[in-house]
Amino acid sequence: MLLSVQKVSKRFGGLWALREVDLDVDEGEILGIIGPNGAGKTTLFNCITGYYRPDSGRIVFRSIDITGKPPYKISKLGIARTFQLTKAFNNLTVYDNIRISALAGSGSSSDISRALDLSGLQDKKDFLACNLTLIERKRLELARALSTKPKLLLLDEVMAGLKPYEADEILKVIRDINNEGVTVIVVEHVIRTIMRLCRRVVVLDYGVKIAEGSPEEVVRNERVIKAYLGEEFVT
């Protein structure tokens, strides 16, 4: 078991963003996390990657307790992430973005070219990050994450804003990354992506895990339907 989230809770003022969430991730799998807006998905990511400190609970990665560790340490331990609103080193070229990302890790030029190849940005490597299109920025996020040679990759709504054919391209990149041996957790709203990408799905609602299983099972789950569509749609 690669990552184990144990009874993690996080509150902001009076609001519980996460409430005793349990989650296990096996090595090599692609896990999906879905849930309505405000369910706590990004909060969970932020807790795992060290941007937030959980109020209670534990997070164990490769037998190391990473609860509350700062983001840079978690990156060095092998967890990479993308951001919901794509972020990059805007005034630097694609190549420099990836080069500097690799720097804190291994920094070899072979890692950089692998990241470029896998993400499909070889042709754009000398372009400034701020001049890229949306899908190119998402590719850059993936390339950047890859260059740190992670064992686990967290993707936060990476499909947001993409047209269906663009989403398919990113899907392919994610699959390639997974085939390289990187475990992936995907937070998504687009059910189609989840169905095609993940063998296992976890559903959050109001900070609580309400379902877990294969995509087909989860989609038919009463609690899930109720959370997304409301009581009336539960047959």
Partner 1 sequence: MVVLFSTSNLKYLIPFLVVLYSLPLIPQPPYIMHVIVVTMLWAYLATAWSILGCFAGQLSLGHAAFFGIGAYSSYFLTTWYNVPPILSLVVGGSLASAISIGIGYPCFRYGLRGVYFTLATIAFAEILKDIFIYLRDITGGSLGVWLPMAQEGIVNLYFINKEPYYYIITTMWLSLILILSAARRFKDYLIAIREDEDVAASVGINVTKYKLVALLISSYFTGLGGAFYLYYFRYINPYITFGLDTSLQMVLLSIFGGMYSLWGPFIGSVILTPIGEYLRIVLGGAYVGSHLVIYGVLLIIVIRFLPKGVVGTLKLVYDKFVVRAGGYAVKRSESF
Which of 60, 100, 160, 195 binds partner 1 (CB under 8 A)? It is 100
Whole-number Å distance between alpha carbons of 111 and 206: 39
Whole-number Å distance between alpha carbons of 155 and 159: 9
**Residue 58 dihedral angles phi and psi, to the nearest 5°:** -135, 150
Q: Is 128 in the site for partner 1 (CB under 8 A)?
A: yes
Pick the stretch among 60-68, 121-129, 178-186, 203-211 that binds partner 1 (CB under 8 A). 121-129
Cα 141 to chain centroid distance, Å, stands at 11
Residue 20 forms beta bridges with which residues?
Answer: none
H/E element, 46: helix 41-48
Pick the stretch among 16-24, 58-66, 95-103, 189-197 that binds partner 1 (CB under 8 A). 95-103
Q: Which is nearer to partner 1, 49 or 193 (CB)?
A: 49
Is the distance from CB of 151 to CB of 172 less than 8 angstroms? no
Q: Is 49 in the site for partner 1 (CB under 8 A)?
A: yes
Q: How far apart are the first and last CA of the chain?
A: 36
Q: Is 7 in the site for partner 1 (CB under 8 A)?
A: no
Q: Is 231 in the site for partner 1 (CB under 8 A)?
A: no
Taking residues 129 to 148 in sequence order and writing x for each that binds partner 1 by CB under 8 A, - otherwise, the string is --x------------xx-xx
Binding site for partner 1 (CB under 8 A): 49-51, 70-72, 75-76, 80-81, 83, 87-93, 96, 99-105, 126-128, 131, 144-145, 147-148
